[in-house]
Structure 1
């Protein structure tokens, strides 16, 4: 259950409509997912979050869009965000992630989680060679 109410007609607010129109144009789809609809309870927050997501996920950069989505899935798993795991897995699949790539992603995430837990428990010091300044 959400901690805020889903606005009845979010696009009645022109600030929300402007963001939703940008989401549609950026994604090339009429679909507005629930994250954005719920964030419409606060139009300035909606705009801020969309601007951040758009600048990282939709604008060209050194990483291709499928890789960005796969990283988002990995971080979402680590942060236990079921919504983001589902939405970004769907986005990664739409950008070409195969079943084999998804399985590899899950293997990497589960292996990293295990070794992270071990290293957190053991508190192993970082090798000097791993520090950019000394390595």
Structure 2
């Protein structure tokens, strides 16, 4: 259950309704999901998150399916059920197969385990792994 009301089109402010209309237009749908409806309680935040999401998830050097799979991995790690479900649906719509999903889950589980072990053991990073972009 959401901690804020899910704003209907009828209850939306003009600013929120503008974002809802943009979501419908750009996604070629008549549906605005609950995440956006919850954010509509703060129209400025709704607008900012929608703009940022379009920028990050839009065309770039990473394939759209790869972006969705990264989103799933972070959502699993953060325990966000809503995002796991919504981005799994988006990844499937972009062509993710059941085999790819299974492999993704295995990678997430493996990374979670090795991250926990490295953290628990306080293993120092090898100098050759230092991630610098010189």
Q: What is the correspondence of 1:105-116 to structure 2 with a 5 Å cutoff?
A: 105-116=104-115
What stretches of structure 1 of length at least 5 have no aligned partner?
none
| RMSD, matched Cα | 1.8
3-state DSSP of counterpart to 1:15: helix
* 1:10–1:16 contact (8 Å) kept in structure 2: no
Residue 28 of structure 2 corresponds to 28
Q: Contact (CA 8 Å) 1:10, 1:37: kept in 2 or not? A: no
What do residues 33-62 of structure 1 show as CA deviations (whole Å, max 9, x unaligned)? 1000111111111101111111111x2100
Structure 1 outlier segments of 4+, above 6 Å: none
Instruction: Name the CA distance, whole Å, in 1 between partners of 2:76 and 2:128.
Output: 29
TM-score of the pair, normalised by structure 2: 0.93
Q: What is the match of residue 62 of structure 2?
A: 63
TM-score, scaled to structure 1: 0.92
Structure 2 stretches of 5 or more lacking a match? Answer: none
Match of 1:97 in 2: 96
